[in-house]
Chains A and B, each alone.
Chain A
């Protein structure tokens, strides 16, 4: 009766409903691929290049000895400002002071030796004058035959000997004088060495590190103090080589320090380094702050965005629409609800995700921006407004 009818109807509903659900489950996997389309638009593009940089000092100085020695005094500490020529530290001169004294004594002794030689020269001169005069007199007498030639020869010999002695005394004086100069030079050398053990600041700078304490031994070339020129802090930025094409000195940059993530500090590109890093495949670009902020810390990380020249009225599509198929760059278009790959030539790309199209599309052309699955040529497409849930 009616009960049976109701039962039959209910059963029928269940079966039909089940079959429909099954069919729905089966068919969803074979329907068209959902895509979201976007238009190619004309507009101003502001391409930017992005890189991570480190705050560094353009000029940094290592102050240390040229000989291995022990540190005896360090007069400044990290954070001190120093002036050019200021004494920063002293190293232990060891025996240099004694060597200086010894050199000084040698100088005194050499000076005395010069005096001696001078006196000897005077004496030799006077003897020589006497012998010469005597020799002349006897020669004269010999000519008058008042003396024997033996005596005359003897006197001549004495005159010659006295002259030779004079020359010897002159030479001795020269030697003593030169010796005096030599020991003076020795002393000057020791004095210069002694000066090495005073470490002085080469420029006006900030002490960034104090690396040795009094008493520690340092080797030649090791730093006792590190100085940086505070006016020379900049951001050494690493830009991927693949994107470094249109970099130029003078471009405006926005710098975001890791310690101040919400502040964008303006700056400028001052140098693009000649050598790149071939291991990391990056170009090194130096960016200065227009107005260096306070408490800048060398070693801090920063994100740098360099603004390339803006492009006016450029045709662009969302970057998500650009794909590489085999070796070609292009976009997917929806022709008659089917996917078709269109090769294009692309230009600049912005950080916000737009890519300039130089060739292959015109304004208003629709391209596939998002798709629910990878597309293949000829695939059936179904346009939706959004794919994300």
Chain B
């Protein structure tokens, strides 16, 4: 027995391949959407893994430092470090802001870190670590900065001395690592106009500017111009100690919030990415329905164009099930061609997306099964139409 479906496909292969390519682009978009979701989850995981921390200590009752803003005093680390089971602590600040290079600005996630403490970039792909205590930075390659670039953040220019890869924030912005003190100043100190304005306001406040107390106003202004806050303390737990129990200790005795890696992942994925995940899920559903509708329409049209041949085949003695099998095989073949094209284009265009797209083979397999299922279901309409054809119509006239 020859394959009727195979012969039909070979006969009008141009039309078939063209349709398959079109369907393939649709499937490629669907796979890319799933890849975007996976990429977002991966970004969140990478953010947590690359920070080198076992615990995140943040302001009490906040979901910080990524999902919610959190502020701690920068000397809180001393009380944390004194607890048992703590191997290392590191103050960090996080701020998403614009960095300027020449005349273009790039959105970056500025991380203030302390040399030698958790929070510093664990590995580089080029350059060297920061050696000067000020005005040097390490940038992620996604920012487009290269070694030697002068980057402007707030009031100072920083020289890029090292590059990293895949160090991005939860929303995909490239990270820029600068010394903690510079980051505290950047996060706090505003532009000159605002500073002058603030000084004038303080000077006009009679309780802060007393004539009988020389030096009071200067002292107040000086204290306003200093920032001793950080967003989180990253903690490495000593070997042999349990993350959860150390976190519980911190929570109980220090009145601070401490999250383990698993809790941070849940916060990022469940809270931060949740809305995007729902959107992507909706898109996937819509795209699947659209793909199904398109396949259904195409197969129906292809069947209808063969209605005379089907009538003749039925008359001369072809069974219903052979005809149904032909239509089903054509639908599945279309799905296979579309999937191959879709997977290929998704792989090819994934690196050009602004966000990280992660195409997992598990997703590809699931996508393949879904495509096959949708094609099979979509062919039902055409099969029913084909089966309803009356062979008597071949005896025309």
Contacts and interface: CB of A to CB of B under 8 A. Distances in A.
A320 B128 contact: yes
B214 A279 contact: no
A17 B116 contact: no
Contact of B126 (A22, A374, A388): A388
A274 interface: no
Contacts of A217: 211
B343 interface: yes
A223 B364 contact: no
Interface string A320-352: 100110110000000000000000000001111
Nearest to A371: B123
B2 to A, nearest CB: 13
Interface stretch (A3-11, A123-131, A178-186): A3-11
A21 B344 contact: yes
A4 B337 CA distance: 18
A14 interface: yes
A25 B359 CA distance: 8
Contacts of A25: 343, 346-347, 350, 359
B13 interface: yes
B344 A353 contact: no
A195 interface: no
A184 B397 CA distance: 152
B212 interface: yes
A18 B339 CA distance: 9
A22 B131 contact: no
Contacts of A280: 181
Interface residues of A, number: 54
Given A52-B134, A352-B128, A388-B126, A372 B165 contact: yes
A374 B359 contact: no
Contact of A18 (B88, B211, B341): B341
A219 to B, nearest CB: 6
A319 B131 contact: yes
Interface string A1-40: 0001001101100110111011011100000000010000
A26 B214 CA distance: 72
Interface in A238-277: 239-240, 242-243
Interface string A344-382: 000001111100000000000000011111110000000
A21 B346 CA distance: 10
Contacts of B49: 374
A26 B361 contact: yes
Nearest to A318: B128
Interface string B333-370: 00001001101101110100000000101001000000
A389 interface: yes
A189 interface: no
A319 B129 CA distance: 6
A148 interface: no
Interface residues of B, number: 50
B42 to A, nearest CB: 10
B126 A323 contact: no
A222 interface: yes
Nearest to B162: A320
Interface in A192-229: 217, 219, 221-223
B163 interface: yes
Interface string B219-237: 0000000001000000010
B115 A370 contact: no
B84 interface: no
B122 interface: yes
Given A351-B132, A374-B50, A219 B125 contact: no
A138 interface: no
Contacts of A353: 127-129, 131, 161
Interface in B109-123: 115-116, 122-123
Nearest to B129: A319
Nearest to B133: A240
Contacts of B88: 327
A296 interface: no
Contacts of B141: 388-389
Contact of A223 (B162, B214, B347): B214
B341 A375 contact: no
A223 B218 CA distance: 13
Contacts of A324: 116
Contacts of B124: 320, 369-370
A381 B134 CA distance: 34
Given A324-B116, A374-B123, A22 B364 contact: yes
Given A319-B128, A320-B162, A387-B126, A17 B133 contact: no
B340 A52 contact: no
B132 A320 contact: no
Contacts of A279: 75, 228
Residue among B87, B88, B134, B236 having the largest count of chain A Cβ atoms under 10 Å: B134
Contact of B340 (A22, A219, A349): A22
B145 to A, nearest CB: 11
Nearest to B239: A326
Contact of A8 (B10, B343, B364): B10
A149 interface: no
A256 to B, nearest CB: 11
A17 B129 CA distance: 43
A222 B343 contact: no
Contacts of A66: none
B126 A18 contact: no
B228 A15 contact: no
Contact of A19 (B126, B165, B340): B340
Contacts of A370: 123-126
Interface in A153-197: none
A386 B147 CA distance: 13
Interface in A289-310: 303
Nearest to A261: B157
B273 to A, nearest CB: 21
Contacts of B126: 370, 386-388
8 contacts: A10-B13, A14-B341, A22-B343, A25-B343, A280-B181, A320-B128, A351-B131, A370-B126
- 5 tightest CB-CB pairs across the interface, nearest first? A353-B128, A25-B347, A18-B340, A387-B125, A388-B126
